[in-house]
Structure 1
Amino acid sequence: MKQEHKFLLHLFPQSLSKHRSRDIKLTIAATFQKGLNNSMSKVITFYSDKHKVGKTTSVFFISYCLNKMGKKVTAIDLDRQEALTTAFNSVENYQSKIKNITPMKIEAEEPLINFLKNDDKSDVVLIDTGSDMILNKVALAISDEVIIPILGFEGLQTVSPKNISFTASRIAERVTPKALIRFLPIAATEYLPEEQKNINTYQHHHREININCYKEAIPDLFNFLADKQFASDVFHLAMTSEFGMNQFYERLTNEILQDS
């Protein structure tokens, strides 16, 4: 039986005044935290202080892979740019593969409460964070796992272990003690073979500072979400066996599920 996939659209409209927007965000944040804290779902937040590092693309493809594996998935878009929402709406091939996509515009507390009550049986909740610290703080606080994409991991030559360790320590202060924090390497395609070989070596050499990376490095295709037609074309290409993008994300998704 095809699993139902829902995703939560942009939580607050751009047209609101700054004061009104803050009131709504605080209300949503409190309701959001209460609802998901009472949920049995596994909550995974994709977070980074940097923009355009692959958070949205990862949520997009992992949603597809989880649903394909028979999981009920809720994907939540917390970014003002609405890139995840735009991607779900614009990629017809995605909508043909996953039935019962239910777009929802949440602008007040009651609809959000109803949504969370009705969605408490999701297997996995994926959260795509943006730049709003109120919502990001809540997302981190209720997460079972935080995934931090690292762009520019090419050959593991440009990444400072101390910087990664500092990032992990800072995020650890915002999550529950049981939450898992893992880094997701994203590399240019030509570096992927080298990347796959070196991730374990890199972690082994820096075990003293507790760097926890996924073994699966992902090709750098995050910019495909910027253009609707390009998004549709790339998604179609990415999901074909000839290109193999689906294989990268399927292996990554299996690795994520092993953490459960």
Structure 2
Amino acid sequence: MDLVVPVRTGAVNQYLRYALRSWSAHLPHRYVWIIGHRPPWVDGARYLSTPQTGTKYVNTTRAVAAACRNRGISDPFVLLNDDFFVMEPLPDGVPTLHRGPVRDVEAYYADRGNGSYLRGLRETRDLLVSLGYDDPVSYELHVPLVVHKEPMRQALDVGRRLDVLHKRTAYGNLAELGGDQVEDVKVMWRGPRFPGGPFLSTLPDAFDNGMVGAHIRRTFAEPGPYERGGGR
């Protein structure tokens, strides 16, 4: 399968550098597709430009829609973010994972007052309930997700009026993916405790200044095949 990663415009994006190294080491694939913005140091990855004029939610939705339309991208493909790190080999392939019922995830974010994200969660939940999914499951994890194009196209279509569509969740429920429930792997702190296992993701401060970021940089210290000078 191809790997698809939406990338925003911005700085050098060191997270993507180490993510690409981790995918090269532990996530077998055909091509990497960067959709949106390609940092100047990236080499060897395929690129598809998409407008970067909306919010981060709108821009990533555009990127996923473009991937589903593009015949050159495998069907299915693996959807990632630029701060998803694969820390170990996946001998059984990319697992299907979810975060549990949306109602439980909503309670978690309601305690933290997460504005637009929480609003999008609730609107996506209400949309799924209106379609007959009475207790939808959240797929908003910071881990790779295998995406089949037609079900994702359908999810983006039914959610097209939502400006903060939780597209992984819409897709996962409409496609009836099932899967195993896990805790999210996003690390938001600098300290020494972070999840073990094959997947990690970080907030910028945790990556730049935390022990988890140092661990990731040590693990993937050598340049990879998707950066200039890395070789292929």
Q: Normalization by structure 2: what TM-score?
A: 0.33
**Between Structure 1 and Structure 2, which shows a larger proportion of helix residues?**
1
TM value normalised by structure 1: 0.31
